[in-house]
Amino acid sequence: MKEQKSIPVTKAERSAKFVKTGFQIGGNYIKHYSKKLFNPDLDREQLNEDNATDIYKSLSELKGSALKIAQMLSMDKNILPKSYVDKFTQSQYNAPPLSGPLIVRTFTKSFGKTPETIYDSFNLSSTNAASIGQVHQATLNGKKLAVKIQYPGVGDSISSDLKLVKPFAFRLLGMSEKELNIYIKEVEERLLEETDYELEVKRSIEFSEACKNLDNVVFPTYYPELSGKRIISMDWIDGLHLKEFLKTNPSQELRDKIGQALWDFYNFQQHELRAVHADPHPGNFMITPDEKLGVIDFGCIKEMPDDFYNPFFSLISTDVIQDKAKTIDAFRKLDMIHSDDTSAQVEFYYKSYKEMIELFAKPYINESFDFSKNEFFEKLYEYGEKIAKMPEFKQARGVKHFIYVNRTNFGLYTILHELKAKVKTNTFKPTL
């Protein structure tokens, strides 16, 4: 892949990039409607393809929060047309990498030294590039290391980028402004944490220590003395990303083993730590040669306060959902039903959200769950499409914690579906 020689860093440069993309999208619409004059049956597939290509190209050059949102949207498969999902999924693995001179400059700024003087060897070509940083291989004292380097200007441009992403988000998501602002605020808080590499090293050490006794889950060792605000040094974990792993045609037994490790990793954190690795895209995991799940990124952590955790997990793990009054009470605590709703609205949201929770909770209700079944996912996507068309859901509903907790659980479900894994779901239960 072609290397990127520079990143637009100033607000003016980044705004100009968005404006240019906006013009390109406008041009795509004009092209589409001109063709439609001669062919009234023309569908939007080519238009979506062109827009997705232009938006992804622009976001991948901007890096940072702009690209991160593309990554998040690619996991929300029922929100976007397929061409966007296909294009944005690339951001999970292979955004265009930065050139060698730009990498050396970042090191010199952080450590006052070039990478060659810090490590015994350092490969200037990155092994993979994502939204906030890219990874290089290095060696030191006979050990193979992964060195993650943050793109210049990423942390400083988060707030302004999110303002620039807003018009695209309006078009793609069809949210109301109030709802979009809640979404953007929560995303901004998490992204600011993700660009704080010193915080990431601290959390990575804490979480890998807390999760060290889980079966078949492994973590790299982190080196704070070789890390800083924009650089993280950790052990290199050999293995395959999910896509590559699935191409090896693994046995059902191995799929189930990796799926179980993933389920336990997430549910141990949710229920024992009340804080969870909230970035479950496949690029953050490796399947190692000795058949273990390697977790290689703790940048995004979502803490769950009691006033969210208790009502939410009581709905999916106890018989609360069978009691209408208790369910409505939990929905009120979670701001899914508002204090000024009419009795007709209360009834409408009660029925709609009860259907959603019962669907979402299916893996939790039984002792084991087969994630290979398409029927469960078809129902989830159908439900998502149904409420996306309802005017009642255009206003903001639900506390902000849903954004990352839903993303985490649906991301987990999606990876398990791709693995076609059958897992025991009673290993770590909600603690209420």
The predicted pLDDT at position 126 comes to 84
Taking alpha carbons only, the member of 181, 73, 161 closest to residue 400 is 181
Element of type H or E holding 293: strand 293-295
End-to-end Cα separation, the chain, in angstroms? 49
Query: Is-contact 61 8, C-beta < 8 A?
Result: yes
DSSP assignment of 377-417: HHHHHHHHHHHHT-GGGSS--S-THHHHHHHHHHHHHHHHH
Closest by CA to 301, choosing from 181, 404, 429, is 404
Of 1.10.3470, 3.30.200, 3.10.450, 1.20.120, which CATH number belongs to 96-129+132-154+195-236? 3.30.200
User: Residues 158, 184: contact at Cβ < 8 Å?
Assistant: no
Comparing CA positions, the residue from 281, 250, 245, 294 lying closest to residue 90 is: 281
Q: 């498969």: which residue's tokens?
A: 77
Q: From start to end of 72-208, where are the E strands?
A: 121-122, 128-129, 133-140, 143-150
pLDDT truncated to tens, each residue of the chain (432 aa)? 455 555 555 556 655 555 555 545 455 545 544 554 556 565 556 655 665 565 556 555 555 455 555 555 444 444 444 554 454 454 444 555 667 888 888 899 889 999 999 999 999 988 877 667 889 999 999 999 999 998 777 777 777 767 766 666 555 555 566 666 776 777 778 878 888 999 999 999 999 999 999 999 999 999 999 999 889 999 999 999 998 999 999 999 999 999 999 999 999 999 999 999 988 888 889 999 999 999 998 888 999 999 999 999 999 877 899 999 999 999 999 999 999 999 999 999 999 999 989 998 999 888 999 999 999 988 888 887 787 678 887 666 888 888 788 878 888 998 999 999 999 999 998 888
pLDDT of residue 254: 98
d(CA 136, CA 145): 8
CA distance 69 to 59: 9
Please give the single-letter amino acid code of residue 337.
I
Q: Are 217 and 261 in contact (CB under 8 A)?
A: yes
On whether the CB atoms of residues 357 and 370 are closer than 8 A, the answer is no
Chain position carrying tokens 């991948």: 60
Q: So what's the pLDDT on residue 74?
A: 44
| Tokens 């439900």 -> residue | 383
Angle ∠(25,31,33) on CA atoms, nearest 5: 105
Which residue in the block uniquely carries the two structure tokens 């890219």?
Answer: 134
DSSP secondary structure code for residue 225 in this structure: G
Residues 6+ apart with CB under 8 A from 309: 274
Q: Is the dihedral of CA 301, 11, 169, 243 positive or negative?
A: negative
Residue boundaries of the structural domains of the chain: 11-93+158-169, 96-129+132-154+195-236, 238-432
Q: Which of 118, 1, 68, 87 is nearest to 297 (CA)?
A: 68
Residues constituting the chain: 432
Quote the CA–CA distance of 170 and 155 in Å, as a whole number.
24
Model's pTM, two decimal places? Answer: 0.77
The string of DSSP letters for 181-247 reads HHHHHHHHHHHHHHT-HHHHHHHHHHHHHHTTTSTTEE---B-GGG--SSEEEEE----B-HHHHHH
Residue 379 and residue 323: Cα distance in Å, rounded? 24
